[in-house]
Amino acid sequence: MNGVALRILLGDRAKYVGLIFGIAFSTMLMSNQTSIFVGLMLRTANQILDAREADIWVMDPCVDYVDEIEPMTDTQLGRVRGVDGVDWAVPFFKGLTVAHTRDGILQQVILLGVDDATLTGVTPRLALGSVENLKQPDAMIIDRAGYQFMWPGEEPGLGKVLELNDHRAVIVGISDASAPFTTYPIVYTKYSSALNYIGRTRKQMSFVLVHTRPQVDPHVLAQRISAETGLKALTWSDFALATIGYYLKRTGIPVNFGITVALGFIVGAAVVGQTFYIFVIENLRQFGALKAMGVANGTILRMVLLQAIVVAGIGYAVGIGLCAGFFEITSRISINLRGFELPWQVAAGTACAILVIIVIASFLSIRKVMVVDPAIVFRG
């Protein structure tokens, strides 16, 4: 009977292709938009995710996310270091400033100042140079995308000179830093150099990065730091989630992407449901003939479900393949589109959504088949 069900399905090529196209389009739209949404949200916390040496981020109690900075005095660093369970704690600076090249190109950049001694906070993925190069005078590391902004059309190389607030900086490394939410270049320098570029004030330390001692729970230590210093202390994962949550609450991104994903689901359900229903109605005579030959309703039910599963499986495979291919191609076209990919969680979630769509599409059709009169075969 399975072979008969497949022959009935393949007999009407137009509707067969239409069903697959409907499922593939719905799969592509839902998985593509959901993946882009996930990628955008991860970009909001890219500096946190790159500085994975730190277990805990310590900040002013008023800070809600990584781009909202209330500077602290350097004395707070000593207080954090004095908390039991802290292995090491280092200062971290984050700010925005304007850099320009000798060719006259201006660009706002994300300036990150890392501890002079340990250089903690620099992404370990360097395309050119070494993190240790930052210990040189006036040294700076820039991300690959930022290099292309500052020197368009040139191959990445070391030795280029930038100026920040009348201070000279030399590029000693090219990093593969995660893409930021904005398209600003990301530059790393020593903490002391960052303060010189920005200008020294009474409060200048953005964060304190903390590493826990062995066998110490980071969540417990974060609570201890908060209790003893009065500062906010969050594990890197909690801080990343807080940053993502801020953008979810304060921007229209979730609503816009949610509407698109919902439309993909609704359009897929409507198109596939209608097409599959018409397909079954037009083949009622075949199902009636099978009933007239003594085929039980249970067997008929399995045949219809097999047709639905085959269509859903092929359509899903085509759609998810197109989505994966889209991200592979776009990531090679522009470095600004790096980081967008198809997570397996999105692929699995889309598969569940397609399963729901095909169940909805099959429901009315199955009922029509179950009540079909075998005598329909003999009617004109």
Is residue 257 domain-shared with residue 130, that is, in the same domain?
no
Give alpha helix (H) positions in 334-343: none
pLDDT of residue 307: 78
With respect to residue 64, please indicate whether it lies within any of the assigned structural domains.
no
Is residue 178 domain-shared with residue 258, that is, in the same domain?
no
Report pLDDT digits (tens) over 14-68: 777 888 888 888 888 888 888 888 888 888 888 888 888 889 999 999 999 898 8
Is residue 120 domain-shared with residue 23, that is, in the same domain?
no
Is residue 125 domain-shared with residue 210, that is, in the same domain?
yes
Q: Is-contact 215 227, C-beta < 8 A? A: no
Is residue 305 domain-shared with residue 354, that is, in the same domain?
yes
Give alpha helix (H) positions in 45-159: 46-50, 75-81, 144-150
Q: Which residue has the higher pLDDT, 138 or 301?
A: 138
182: DSSP letter: S
Report pLDDT digits (tens) over 110-154: 999 999 888 887 776 788 888 888 888 889 999 988 888 888 888
Q: Over the chain, what is the mean pLDDT? A: 84
Is residue 32 domain-shared with residue 97, that is, in the same domain?
no
Rounded to two decimals, the pTM is 0.81
With respect to residue 278, please indicate whether it lies within any of the assigned structural domains.
yes
pLDDT of residue 123: 72
Report pLDDT digits (tens) over 176-214: 888 888 788 899 999 988 988 887 777 889 999 999 999
HSE (side-chain half, CA atoms, 13 Å) at 61: 8
Is residue 173 domain-shared with residue 256, that is, in the same domain?
no
Q: How far is residue 38's CA from residue 33's CA, in Å, rounded to a whole number?
A: 9
| Burial class of residue 246, CB neighbours in 10 A (0-12, 13-18, 19+) | middle
Mean pLDDT value of segment 87-114 = 88
- The total domain count for the chain is 2
pLDDT of residue 84: 92
pLDDT of residue 230: 93
Report pLDDT digits (tens) over 323-373: 999 888 887 776 767 778 888 899 999 898 888 888 877 776 776 666 665
Is residue 310 domain-shared with residue 371, that is, in the same domain?
yes
With respect to residue 54, please indicate whether it lies within any of the assigned structural domains.
no
Report pLDDT digits (tens) over 213-239: 998 999 999 999 999 999 999 999 999
Can you give the residue range of the structural domain that contains 372? 2-44+252-378
pLDDT of residue 295: 65
Is residue 258 domain-shared with residue 354, that is, in the same domain?
yes
HSE (side-chain half, CA atoms, 13 Å) at 306: 16
DSSP labels, 226-237: HHHHSSEEEEHH
Is residue 77 domain-shared with residue 31, that is, in the same domain?
no
